[in-house]
Amino acid sequence: MKENVLVLLGGQSSEHEVSLKSATTIISQMDTDKYEIYPVGITQEGHWLLYTGNNLDFTCNRWKEVGIPAILSPDATRKSLVVLKKEEPPVFIKIDKVFPVLHGKNGEDGTIQGICKLARIPFVGCGVVASAVSMDKAFTKIVVKEKGVPQADFVLVYEREMQDEAQVVAKVEGAFGYPYFIKPANAGSSVGISKAHNKEELIAGLKEALKHDVKVLVEETIIGREVETAVLGNGEVQVSGVGEILAAAEFYDFDAKYNNAESKTVVDASLDASVKEQIRSYAKDVFEAVEGKGISRVDFFVKEDGGIIFNEINTLPGFTSISMYPMLWRAAGLETKELVTKLLDLASL
């Protein structure tokens, strides 16, 4: 008997369009002999729509125009998707599992995971706490520090502090020297990130980051190669090989990641075997520190002297055609269809 799987896509975040690409890939790789797929798109305004058409490319299938209003009921006794057709009584579709293909805010931060837990429906990926902690770069650093994983020094700047820009500048400049990386504490896919070489760029970068969150992380600049590894599993986890990002821009921002054809990804980074093994070990440490489940991509810098610096963890990494997570597992011999099945098998509360 097939399992009914609710796939959530789109969402109310700056990564809405990336989610549509990821969901298109995942749905195309779902085993239709095992799963009945119910795709529900969430518009940027927060409207939930069940798509029942045949074109499963959500980058072009007009789901926003033809979708039927539907919501996931938090009622644990129903475990259902509630379809709300005009002038008809609600239809309840039993859901066995949820695959939340929602990147960034309101999808990767514990909010949608909380709804699934209320409904008592197993879902793919990290739980409420792991998602929330990993989404907040500042909390991630605090948690990971306990594991002894090396990471960049940082200063936090809050929106309320920007009423006195001179004091903020003094606080940051007093911590460590230029240049700085400036990141919204809660945003994904390198949205709102900038690099500051002087006071003017620092203030401009803080203002840009504060468009995406009320808390900003200002980090010391680490000169090194950008590498990534993929984690899969609950409890006993598997860690993939180490891939490398060759960014076309000065750093791997949103445009370099998704829009610049000159950015390259390498699934087998040219590094000493001992360095790769340490990266994989640190990735497992980070995943365990945040109490991860199912899926995550863990990113690092490798300095010229071989030193490894933790950058961030992404609990719902991209699944587009150019995304590192499925590419790393494919390089390890796990094809994407098998990977998607494995992730659904790992779904839990």
Q: According to the model, what pLDDT value does residue 249 have?
A: 52
- Check which CATH number belongs to the domain holding 242 and give it: 3.30.470.20
How many independent structural domains does the chain possess?
3
Q: Are residues 162 and 246 in the same domain?
A: no
Conformation bin of residue 192: beta by default, left when phi > 0, alpha when psi is -120 to 50:
left
With a cut of 70, list the residues of the chain below it in pLDDT: 188-190, 248-263
Q: Are residues 208 and 227 in the same domain?
A: no
- Check which CATH number belongs to the domain holding 199 and give it: 3.30.1490.20
Q: Are residues 142 and 288 in the same domain?
A: yes
Q: Would you say residue 196 lies in a domain?
A: yes
Q: Would you say residue 46 lies in a domain?
A: yes
Cα separation of 349 and 347, whole Å?
Answer: 7
Q: According to the model, what pLDDT value does residue 321 have?
A: 84
Q: Are residues 38 and 66 in the same domain?
A: yes
> Is the CB of residue 81 less than 8 Å from the CB of residue 6?
yes
Cα separation of 197 and 182, whole Å?
Answer: 11
Q: Are residues 248 and 140 in the same domain?
A: yes
46: amino acid identity, one letter: G
- pTM of the full structure: 0.92
The last residue of a domain, from among 196, 220, 244:
220
Q: Which domain holds residue 112?
A: 3-123
- What is the β-pairing status of strands 68-72 and 80-83? antiparallel
> Is the CB of residue 12 less than 8 Å from the CB of residue 100?
no
The string over 73-87, giving b where at least 16 C-beta atoms fall within 10 Å of a residue's C-beta and e elsewhere, is beeeebbbbbbeeee
Give 256-302 pLDDT, tens digit per residue: 454 545 568 899 999 999 999 999 999 999 999 999 999 999 999 99
Q: According to the model, what pLDDT value does residue 186 have?
A: 86
- Check which CATH number belongs to the domain holding 29 and give it: 3.40.50.20
User: ω into residue 150 within 30 of 0, thus cis?
Assistant: no
Q: According to the model, what pLDDT value does residue 251 have?
A: 52
Q: Are residues 104 and 173 in the same domain?
A: no
Give 1-21 pLDDT, tens digit per residue: 999 999 999 999 989 999 999
The residue to which tokens 């760029």 are assigned: 201
Residues in the chain, overall count: 349
Q: Are residues 237 and 322 in the same domain?
A: yes
Q: Would you say residue 320 lies in a domain?
A: yes
Nearest residue to 14 (alpha-carbon basis) of 205, 213, 157: 213
Q: Are residues 242 and 328 in the same domain?
A: yes
Q: Are residues 250 and 145 in the same domain?
A: yes
Q: Would you say residue 115 lies in a domain?
A: yes
Other residues' Cβ atoms within 10 Å of the Cβ of residue 187: 24
Give 96-126 pLDDT, tens digit per residue: 999 999 998 899 999 999 999 999 999 999 9
Q: Would you say residue 301 lies in a domain?
A: yes
Q: Are residues 275 and 229 in the same domain?
A: yes
Q: Would you say residue 99 lies in a domain?
A: yes
Cα separation of 23 and 229, whole Å?
Answer: 21
Q: Would you say residue 129 lies in a domain?
A: no
98: amino acid identity, one letter: V
Q: Are residues 161 and 145 in the same domain?
A: no
The last residue of a domain, from among 220, 239, 271:
220
Q: Would you say residue 128 lies in a domain?
A: no
Q: Are residues 34 and 112 in the same domain?
A: yes
Strand partners, 309: 301
The last residue of a domain, from among 190, 220, 250:
220
